[in-house]
Amino acid sequence: MTALTLSTAAVAGLRADAIVIGVAKGSASKPGGPVVAPGAEAVDQAYDGNLAGVLETLGASGAEGEVTKLPAPAGFKAPLVLAVGLGAQPQEDSGYDAEALRKAAGVAARALSGTKKAAFALPLTDAADAAAVAEGVLLGAYSFDAYKDQGDAKNGKNAKAPLGEAALLGGKPRDKAYKAAVERAVAVSEELNRARDLINTPPNDLNPEAFAAVAQTAAKEHGIKVQVLDEKALVKGGYGGILGVGAGSASGPRLVKLSYTSSKAKKHIALVGKGITYDSGGISLKPAGHNETMKCDMSGAAAVFAAVVAAARLGLEVNVTGWLALAENMPSGSATRPGDVLRMYSGKTVEVLNTDAEGRLVLADALWAASQEKPDVVVDVATLTGAMVLALGNRTFGIMANDDAFRALVQEAAEEAGEPAWPMPLPEHLRKGMESSTADIANMGERMGGGLVAGLFLREFVGEGITWAHLDIAGPAFNEGGPFGYTPKGGTGSAVRTLVRLAERAAAGELS
């Protein structure tokens, strides 16, 4: 991954391949033209104070995500200046928004793939700004090239290595706050990028057993206790939901428990992730056009895994338990059929009306298992419903909960992390649609409001008196379009930063 340094060096004398500066959109007093952002003063002076004019001549406007390259001025050791758009200028007496800095740094880092070193002269007013730029660089520079021929000339563009090193100018390398902010950014970004790697890995190489092995290796490295329940253990324990979903696959299901504990912890949070390593829909087979990206159906488990490891690396003073419910949903002679009834780990029975509504079945078992430890809160994360994508689009995840105050806290954590999220209700009248004449509950209900129906189903498997939230990340988990900001094409690592921020707030005593 890209190496990061904090630097107080003068930009002109810094040996680098490029200098990154920020440009904002013109204000009311100067409409249309770009405005050079703080941090680029030395570069502007080298252009005799006319850098904004030069950029405007080249077509730059300062719009968010815009990239303009120009030769560095005489006397600079770096040969290139890259101006990246920050969007609208902040209001007077306020700095640039952290997300604006994050996005700009990500765009620049991606544009500089194949470059050995770049100096980032973006606006840094405090340690939080340094953290935002650091996150943007590390997340924006990400690429997944494990399956590409690095020497293939035809794919040379794809084979470019990520930006090698980024020096954050204006950072204070001896300041404890700056150092801590960047160290946090590195830990979280590295684990988020590990989650992206897992999401992007083809399903023939990442089945439940392989995912569990990755978790075991990471747990050993970071002092996390790990327990893996294989098929025999799941049968013995009565995990009918996970077993039912995995019944049709040659690759057996797994339930992985990751436990990070702190001797100073006063709170315990449990995180539960849906880990369908490939979702064909089972007997209720998905049509062509809807199954090509279903390797991403384990994004919730990847997010939980990354968040637990990040919490351990940061040494947070909170106990965090992660539950990865792993299975492959395939059709075969042994697969669960529509009409079958499964006895879940909780003892409840579920009539399976649609085998493509499988995520809620594996989550139900894991939620009940998590509930047995009586954590202060439980949060599940899943690419659960297409209905949530229809409701909120491809960049925003939905939050449901059995406690309005906790739902608001989770949304605040998402906003602080820079992840778009929106609170969603759990209308009681939709529960009736899941009534079954055969079992305690059916895994399907009314079609309209399907994302809310799924949330109501999951609520049935949360232990009594336990505060719970459900994040449906079906929209933002996998980016099928072009990259934007610090978000790449493919697996995004959605919800990782929200979960880490929630753990930090729990460590700070902000859970009721």
By annotation, the residues acting in catalysis are 286, 360
Tokens found for residue 479: 């980016």
Concatenate the DSSP letters of all residues of 191-220 into one string.
Answer: HHHHHHHHHHS-TTT--HHHHHHHHHHHHH
Report the DSSP pairing between strands 254-260 and 225-229: antiparallel
For the annotated binding site, the residues are 274, 279, 297, 356, 358
Q: What tokens does 175 get?
A: 């300041």
Closest CA relative to residue 354, chosen from 279, 300, 427, 288: 279
Q: Pseudo-torsion of CA 42, 44, 45, 50, nearest 10°?
A: 180
- How far is the first Cα of the chain from the last one, in angstroms, to the nearest whole number? 38
Cβ(456)–Cβ(431) below 8 Å: yes
Q: Which two tokens stand for residue 456?
A: 């109501």
> Which secondary-structure segment (H or E) carries 138?
helix 127-140
Length of the chain, please? 512
Which residues make up each annotated binding site for Mn(2+)? 274, 279, 297, 356, 358
- Between the CA of residue 31 and those of 27, 38, 39, 94, 392, what are the distances in Å? 5, 19, 22, 20, 33
Distances (CA, A) of 93 to 96, 125, 169: 10, 12, 22
Sheet strands (E) in 39-175: 67-71, 80-87, 117-121, 165-169
